[in-house]
Structure formats: C-alpha cells, structure tokens
Chain A
Amino acid sequence: MAQMTEQEILAGIGKIVNEITGVPASEVTPEKNFVDDLDIDSLSMVEIAVAAQDEFGVEIPDDQLKHLKTVKDVINFIQS
C-alpha cells in the first residue's frame, strides 16, 4: 500500500477530531496543540487515538499518546 501523504493524514485526523470533539476540521492544522489550542482533554485524546487506530491501522498506546502534543506529532507518529 502506498504511503499516505501528510495532507491525507491531516484530513483524516481533522475528521476524527471533529467527530469526537466537535472542533471544526479546518482548525485542525499541524502546528496546533491539542490541549492548549484545541481545548481537547486527555479522555478525548484516548478516543482520538482509538479512532486513529481504526482509520490508519497504527496503534497509539497510552505511554506514547502522552508525548503527542501537537497535530504534527500525531502525523509523524502515523508516518513513522
């Protein structure tokens, strides 16, 4: 399977964040910090991680999740 582009992953994350938290997908840009900029709490982050696993087939364990502060961090994790 071809590697997804950063834009494709970003669009997927935007859709997930919107479904779980109601934050518009357009606000989900790489430099945004989930907690400080998007006002997303730790439990919603777990829901996002679970949905991302279904969407991208990449498991994000809790001990990794706490290091993923920005949208870009998640993109990098999925691409790695």
Chain B
Amino acid sequence: MKTIQGAPGAKILAFGHYQPSKVVTNADLSATMDTNDEWIQSRVGIKERRIATAGESEIDLAVQAGGKALAASGLSAGDIDLVIVATCTLEAQIPNAAARVATRLGIEAPGAFDVNTACSGFCYALALANDAVRAGSAVNVLVVGTEKLSQWIDWTDRSTAVIFADGAGAAVVGPSDTPRIGPVVWGSAGDKADAIMIKDRDSFLRQEGQTVFRWATTALHPVAKEICERAGVDPADLAAFVPHQANLRIIEAIARRLGADKAVIAKDIVLAGNTSAASIPLALSRMVERGEVQSGGLVLLLGFGAGLTYAGQVVEVP
C-alpha cells in the first residue's frame, strides 16, 4: 500500500471570531432571578455576555467566525479541504455542523466532522488539524469552535444562567516548513462525567461547581507545564496564556502556578462569558485584533471541561 507525505509542520494562518449582538448584563439577569452583579463578578468574573437571538443558530455563528478567518488567511474557499467544528450545543444530533458550515462558506466537498469534548473541543480540533496537515490527510483546514449554550440553559437556574453564553471563533491551519503548532497534551477523567452534563434531550445543562473548580485548580497546572515541556518552550517565554474561559478564579489560579511572567493572560470571560468550545479561539482572536500579542508570539492554549476532558498546545501567532 502507498502512503502520502504531509507537510513538515503546520501553522495557524489566521483567526476570526463572531459574537451575537445582544448584550446581557448582570443587571439584566438580576431582574429575572435572585442574583446580583457583585455575586456574579466575585464568583465567576463575568460583567456581561452575548446571547444569540432565537433565529440565530450555532451554525450561523460558526459561518460568521469561519468566514472572517478564511478571508483573513488570504486563501479562497477552494483551498480548504477539511473542516472541523468543535461544539457541544447543536440543536439536533444529525446532521453534523461541519458539512453545513462548509457549504455556507462555499467550501466544496471537504472532509467535514464535528468534535464534542465540550469546553476543550477547540484544542482537540486544532490538534487533529495539525496532525492532518502533517500526515498529508489535508492541506488547509478550517477549525471552528461554536456554541449556542443559551438553548441548553435553564434561565431560572442562577448557578448556570449567569455563566454560559454564545459565540464562535475560528482558525485556518495550513502547511509550514517548520512546526508552528506544538504537540498536544490531552486526557480525560471519566470518573467525573456527572460533574457537567445534559442528562437527556429534555434536560438543561447542570454543573457541580465545586467539583469542577477543585479539579480545574488542582489537576490542570501540571498539564499546562507539560504542554510547554513537550513543545520545548519555557513558560517564561510565552507571550500569552489563553485557557478556556470557564471562570476568572480558575484562570487566575492556573496562571499563578504556571510561571508565565511575561504572558498576557486572557480574561475574555469578563465581557464574553463562558462560551465552551468557542472561548479559546474567541479570546485569542480578540487578543490578536487588539494587538496584545504580536506575530511570532508563542501562546499556550489550555481547554478543559465536560467529560471531564482536557487538551492544549503551544501555538505561534501568525
């Protein structure tokens, strides 16, 4: 049997992101449930979040973000031969998101699949894109994280309604002479599967906040360090750290133990909420847009969430 030769490495060519226009503030939530701005900001660090309208689907969000990333990459739709969508909030199980997103963007007949590892999904998808380019399974890959969590939230449950939000972020990955996406470190803790779950099709998302908080603040900083080690990058040399935007206190707890003294720490959650698989590309794309990290800067990504699952890698900013 013949094999094919892939590229020596892969790189991110461009980012794109999209947030729905509807802003929901803590004051808005306080009007309909027993919560307040001080409580929300001190527990999770969120000031406001974006929520999609009834007519705006997770596919629409993905098309917006993916289209921006594609335009910024300088490639045309015809150059993309694989589309991977990370999402855990599709309205229906069938069909998948990736094929619909591809068609809406004019990408003809690419490989198209979804990844569901919830909040760690983008890092899993990015790792698969990196592997596909290096193995020769694909040349250029569109990777999208998109979520419409609002359709799986009980809007009378103050423990989840204040946290989760909608949005999308995307990256275009292509071949490179040298590796500009580092090796992935991934894993899971299925013994804690009950900690974050949607029990069945008639249920809403529920979360055991303390269990997740304990796991995230104790198990993940060694993972962050291992990701840097595998990439051969000293945390002190990181330009930015973009963890999943789960909770500001988790973000700060992991960052404190990482030793990334020069790194900009993504705190996109403050204005975007927790958008699960979309949070990392959304935060990083916005960070690049604001000029907080320069081209060539090394960024540590760390996704973690329901499963429980985690994954991360170091990437170079295009």
Contacts and interface: CB of A to CB of B under 8 A. Distances in A.
Interface of A: 41-43, 45-47, 49-50, 62, 65-66
Contacts of A43: 43, 209-210, 213, 249
25 contacts: A41-B42, A41-B43, A42-B209, A42-B210, A43-B43, A43-B209, A43-B210, A43-B213, A43-B249, A45-B210, A46-B210, A46-B213, A46-B214, A46-B217, A47-B217, A47-B253, A49-B214, A50-B214, A50-B217, A50-B218, A62-B208, A62-B210, A62-B211, A62-B214, A65-B210
B217 to A, nearest CB: 7
A69 B210 CA distance: 15
Given A45-B210, A62-B208, 18 more contacts: A41-B42, A42-B209, A42-B210, A43-B43, A43-B209, A43-B210, A46-B210, A46-B213, A46-B214, A46-B217, A47-B253, A49-B214, A50-B217, A50-B218, A62-B210, A62-B211, A62-B214, A66-B210
Nearest to A44: B249
A45 B213 CA distance: 11
B214 to A, nearest CB: 5
Contacts of A41: 42-43
B289 to A, nearest CB: 31
A42 B209 CA distance: 9
Interface residues of B, number: 12
B312 to A, nearest CB: 22
Interface in B41-69: 42-43
A28 B91 CA distance: 49
A45 B218 CA distance: 14
Interface in B196-223: 208-211, 213-214, 217-218
Contacts of A50: 214, 217-218
Interface in B111-126: none
B218 to A, nearest CB: 6
Contacts of B213: 43, 46
Contacts of B218: 50
A49 B218 CA distance: 11
Among A41, A43, A49, A65, the most chain B Cβ lie within 10 Å of the Cβ of A43
Contacts of B249: 43
A47 B215 CA distance: 11
Nearest to A50: B218
A19 to B, nearest CB: 12
Contacts of B211: 62
Contacts of B208: 62
Contacts of A62: 208, 210-211, 214
Contacts of A46: 210, 213-214, 217
B247 to A, nearest CB: 8
A64 B239 CA distance: 41
A45 B209 CA distance: 12
A22 B74 CA distance: 51
Contacts of A49: 214
Nearest to B247: A43
B220 to A, nearest CB: 13
A43 to B, nearest CB: 5
A50 B249 CA distance: 15
A74 to B, nearest CB: 15
